[in-house]
């Protein structure tokens, strides 16, 4: 899947070339877990990039629909999150996303989200920046108060018209009348078989085209405008955090080595270390809701 997505967005060769030129890649030093040393680096950083993954959402109880425990009815996310699945059975795919949207209504940001948002607001007053680059499609970073968030996989709460391409924020619950009470994840639930005309439709200029969730599906290319912004952040940051995902898991696998190759400190915050972890300067093991509040707390050198 990772390779497929890298190839799909045409970044495979570029990433490998960036990785191979990096002076830190060949190092044999272990990643440090010295928090006081990290805090010194943090206190001097002007532009911080924070790459977040599914682990951050999982700590708020958001299911990922991946792995053996991740089934919705009899499907995993990769079975339904494709253009082919949508055009074959838009009712079924909308039921899946309706379920995910409804779940989100009951979830709230956790300590990791809140810490990142608070840090961004605090550092902004000091002329410093924090930008979140995330693969998650929920809106918990926004709910927590983060302003600078680059969502490389789109959003559960946006729609895109398959006819006119219009993208719109949509927080309705349910998103259309026909989905009311539908979307049960139970394996024996029957498909709602909603006619396309009763699924969410475009409201722009009498278009009435079929709407789809504005998320990046398997096999689709990432938004080039978002990627351009991501590139700028990665090329200018002087500290990078990888939170709730491993540095070998997409998208951190694409981005973190690029930052490390410039000699910029990269710090991982997740529950597991991997052999690749030693490419980076720091690794802090544990739930990010526990480690981040310590790592990003106000430093004694900050003038507030």
Residues acting as catalytic residues? 153
207 part of the interface to Zn ion, by CB under 5 A = yes
Give the shortest CB-208-to-Zn ion separation in angstroms. Answer: 7
Using CB under 5 A as the binding rule, whether residue 24 contacts Zn ion is answered as no
From 26-34, 158-166, 167-175, 225-233, span contacting Zn ion (CB under 5 A)? 158-166
Q: How far is the CB of 190 from Zn ion (least distance, A)?
A: 30
Segment interacting with Zn ion, rule: CB under 5 A, options 5-13, 161-169, 233-241, 252-260: 161-169
d(CA 270, CA 280): 13
Query: Which residue's CB is nearer to Zn ion, number 18 or number 212?
Result: 212
CB nearer to Zn ion: give 35 or 168. Answer: 168
Q: Which of 83, 145, 209, 293 forms a contact with Zn ion (CB under 5 A)?
A: 209
- Residue from 161, 175, 234, 267 that binds Zn ion (CB under 5 A)? 161
Q: Which of 79/166 has CB closer to Zn ion?
A: 166
**Binding segment toward Zn ion, per CB under 5 A, in 2-10, 26-34, 104-112, 157-165:** 157-165
Nearer to Zn ion, 92 or 210 (CB): 210
Q: What is the rounded CA–CA span in Å between residue 216 and residue 220?
A: 6
Q: Which is nearer to Zn ion, 92 or 202 (CB)?
A: 202
Q: Phi, psi at residue 156, to the nearest 5°?
A: -65, -25
Task: For the CB of residue 209, give the shortest distance to Zn ion in the complex, in Å.
Answer: 4
Among the listed residues 286, 302, 248, the one whose alpha carbon sits nearest the alpha carbon of residue 33? 286
Identify whether the C-beta of residue 48 lies closer than 8 Å to the C-beta of residue 239. yes
CB of 201 to Zn ion, least distance (A): 8
Least CB distance to Zn ion at residue 210 (A):
9
Q: Considering beta carbons, is residue 202 or 239 the nearer one to Zn ion? A: 202
Least gap, CB of 166 to Zn ion (angstroms): 5
* Residue 163 interacting with Zn ion (CB under 5 A): yes
Residue 59 burial (CB < 10 Å; 0-12/13-18/19+)? Answer: buried
Binding-site residue total for Zn ion (CB under 5 A)? 7
Restricted to residues 93-112, the positions that interact with Zn ion (CB under 5 A) are: none
Q: Binding marks (x or -) toward Zn ion, 167..206, rule CB under 5 A?
A: -----------------------------------x----
Distances (CA, A) of 43 to 184, 198, 224, 243, 276: 47, 54, 33, 18, 26
The residues binding Zn ion (CB under 5 A) are 161, 163-164, 166, 202, 207, 209
């Amino acid at each position: 899947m990772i390779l497929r997505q890298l190839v799909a967005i045409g970044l495979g060769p570029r990433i490998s070339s960036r990785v191979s030129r990096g002076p830190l890649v060949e190092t044999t030093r272990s990643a440090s877990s010295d928090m006081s040393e990290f805090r010194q680096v943090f206190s001097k950083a002007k532009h911080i990039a924070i790459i977040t993954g599914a682990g951050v959402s999982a700590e708020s109880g958001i299911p990922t629909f991946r792995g053996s425990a991740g089934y919705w009815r009899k499907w995993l996310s990769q079975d339904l999150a494709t253009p082919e699945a949508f055009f074959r059975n838009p009712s079924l795919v909308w039921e899946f996303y309706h379920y995910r949207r409804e779940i989100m209504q009951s979830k709230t940001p956790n300590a990791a989200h809140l810490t990142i948002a608070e840090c961004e607001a605090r550092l902004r007053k000091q002329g410093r920046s924090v930008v979140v680059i995330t693969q998650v499609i929920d809106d918990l970073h926004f709910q927590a108060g983060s302003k600078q968030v680059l969502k490389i996989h789109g959003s559960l709460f946006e729609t895109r018209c398959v006819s006119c391409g219009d993208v719109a924020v949509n927080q309705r619950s349910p998103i259309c009348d026909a989905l009311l009470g539908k979307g049960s994840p139970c394996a024996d639930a029957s498909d709602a078989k909603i006619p396309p005309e009763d699924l969410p439709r475009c409201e722009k200029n009498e278009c009435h085209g079929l709407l789809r969730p504005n998320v990046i599906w398997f096999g689709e290319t990432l938004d080039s405008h978002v990627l351009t912004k991501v590139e700028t952040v990665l090329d200018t940051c002087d500290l990078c955090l990888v939170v709730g995902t491993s540095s070998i898991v997409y998208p951190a696998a694409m981005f973190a080595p690029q930052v490390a190759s410039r000699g910029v400190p990269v710090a991982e915050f997740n529950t597991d270390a991997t052999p690749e972890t030693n490419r980076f300067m720091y690794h802090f093991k544990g739930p990010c809701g526990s480690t981040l509040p310590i790592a990003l707390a106000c430093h004694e050198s900050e003038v507030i």
